[in-house]
A and B are shown apart, each in its own frame.
Chain A
């Protein structure tokens, strides 16, 4: 029994026991369901072994939505606890665990897979490629992410959650003050998914630089591809720093080294510096692809080409450079001295300039455009004022002298939610709606989508704007409660209502998916939004080979040119297409990484070593494998293409005679 005691949760409460039961029930339901409907083979053949960038993208998307709900429940618990003074809903330890996992889940396991979903789904289509440069590596990236996410998510029922905040500052995160294995989970789960992210970065850079369609020079790439490219460049430079920081944190916790301790020459601030050298670029890894999606959406629904293409690209390059020069602003109060603080103040404020350029470019794209207020466009239009408020409060925080007042208050919490929610989450929801027909061949319901947008926007404003005020009045972040005398009660209750509205919004968005699967008309055609860039030049949903013939491109809006200016996209005859083979090894590697990570968390050395050997065995296997992929024959391509073309004819006929395609 002693062996199993280590897996017990250190601070159990009824909610955790209920979650355990729920996890068991849901897992059983999934297993029984798959067996009953005989879907195991389908699941394995079509999804678990896939190397198709579109299917991997969809799996990222599903994971991101699941994690959104996990992190969202955490958020509701936090807001419920703070809704009243002296609330007893959560005890301090539980509150610590919930805000720590909320942050990690939302950043690493929700926002990251969301942007990877769109990078995978859209970038190869936007540059006219068959797949990414390394399809097998792409699958490994996904399964490493999945392994990390699963590992992180079992922490609260096996061994205890991380409780040192999403930043996990040492010495608090050291074994002395965080005794449970929670922080081990933090170190190892993020390490595993971080390796996956790094591999995705390498893969996407190679794809974008080497696999563009003929005629597509760098300055003719669609904006989302540019944004993804810059994000991947940041990944390449930022993630190795995190890898090392996590490695050091792990050895500090598991092998009692002295990197971040306060004795024997250890230096706790080294962690804070490394963490933010990764952490600040990380937020630009998230926001740049989001900017890319807004650029696509705004130009499509304004019916105009993107204003200031070159300045858009230039500002992203400047943002990427500056993102590495601002990390100290996360700890102005930790005593670097006035000179250092001033330098980092200025570099931080400087980021507002290229960001401002982008905001004006979007506004000028809409200027005199014929704006269609579809759901993606609503999110984009909502983004501009809300994000600007977040940016302005960011400049306030950047002033290091003033930051002594704001530091570690709810003002900061309001600021970064104000940039991340309208910045990243709105973009992801806009992208989800915009690219849904690209993925599945039907549209999401507009009416429910609009309800979702309004609930989310109003909920967001109610949830976070009060925090600016309570923060300025001195409400500290990460405090599990406050007394009635502080007067924070009413505003926090407003924030709780806002959080509830946001929860309703996310439920509506998911309900919309189910509703649209049932009721949405199929045969929406290849161009349901009257879009502009190359990804819309193929069919919906996209056939596995993407484009039957390689497109020839002459501008960043190749598809628009083809529609309106008679540009010939597809020249020549259909030829056979080379495709990579599916493989089960990436999934198996993910499973072994999960076992390996779990063994490290609990210092179970024998399974840890065995699973490490397993990982290397998979790599050796891959080295000896001779897999040249397969060819899709011309007949097969023609058969697939004619199926889409006949569907297109039916759709045209239906709409000509006033059919239901409205």
Chain B
């Protein structure tokens, strides 16, 4: 492996550069994935059949909690990458750990929210609207869940091997993924919850 020291560690080998570039392309595909989900949601928004409508089931409190948690986690993953760039392993691990804990907090809030929907009669099978809503939220939540386990794998590797070209590359790509999930959440927050509550 040739290491180019003029580049940041995560870009320092050719394979590292390819990995980051390829991941950007993957995020492009992910944008299409969520765009399709949003399209389906907008079409289904008022097709509630006999089930409840959005304004009837949305609660602003938990949603705001989830939003703040996820935005904070985006900040902490940024700090983790910053710590990585200046070579401070302990700080990086701490921020990465906080990010993942915030991810868990977000997920538990979201599961709570789903249980709430179930109790107010908005199940997956109720209507076109609930199916689209829960699939959109669920796909995002599924991504966060996957991200959590991915992050744990990276955390262990940084703990074991320290910050090197390999782990820096993985951590950086993970941060891209995490930020992306945040961006998607902002869209969910604005165009599903706020629009639904208005």
Contact = CB atoms under 8 A, between A and B. Distances in A.
Is chain B found bound to chain A in the same assembly? yes
A270 B50 contact: no
Contact of A241 (B30, B36, B127, B135): B36
A575 to B, nearest CB: 11
Contact of A624 (B26, B36, B128, B153): B153
Main secondary structure of the interface of A (DSSP, over half): helix
B34 to A, nearest CB: 8
B26 A202 contact: yes
Contacts of B127: 258, 264-266
A261 B44 CA distance: 12
B128 A236 contact: no
Given A241-B32, A620-B153, A251 B124 contact: yes
B25 A202 contact: yes
A236 B28 contact: yes
Interface string B146-162: 00011001101100000
Given A236-B28, A241-B36, A258-B127, A266 B47 contact: yes
A244 interface: yes
Interface of A: 133-134, 198, 201-203, 205-206, 209-211, 236-241, 243-245, 247-248, 251, 255-259, 261, 263-267, 270, 274, 616, 620, 623-624, 626, 628
Interface in B135-192: 135, 149-150, 153-154, 156-157, 166, 170
Contacts of A624: 153, 156-157
B194 interface: no
Interface in B115-142: 124-132, 135
Contacts of A237: 28-29, 32
Given A258-B131, A264-B128, A198 B51 contact: no
A190 to B, nearest CB: 16
A236 B29 contact: yes
Main secondary structure of the interface of B (DSSP, over half): helix
A270 B40 contact: yes
B22 A206 contact: yes
A248 B63 CA distance: 25
A265 B29 contact: no
B13 to A, nearest CB: 9
A248 B40 contact: yes
Interface string B1-20: 10000000000000001110
A239 B36 CA distance: 11
A257 B43 CA distance: 16
B93 to A, nearest CB: 17
Contact of B18 (A133, A247, A266): A133
B162 to A, nearest CB: 13
B131 A257 contact: yes
B17 A259 contact: no
Contacts of A240: 29-30, 32-33, 35-36
Contact of A210 (B1, B18, B43, B149): B18
A244 B40 contact: yes
A562 to B, nearest CB: 26
B48 interface: yes
A255 B129 contact: no
A579 to B, nearest CB: 12
21 contacts: A133-B18, A133-B21, A198-B29, A205-B22, A210-B17, A210-B18, A236-B28, A237-B28, A240-B30, A248-B135, A255-B125, A258-B49, A258-B130, A259-B44, A259-B128, A259-B132, A261-B128, A264-B49, A264-B51, A266-B127, A266-B131
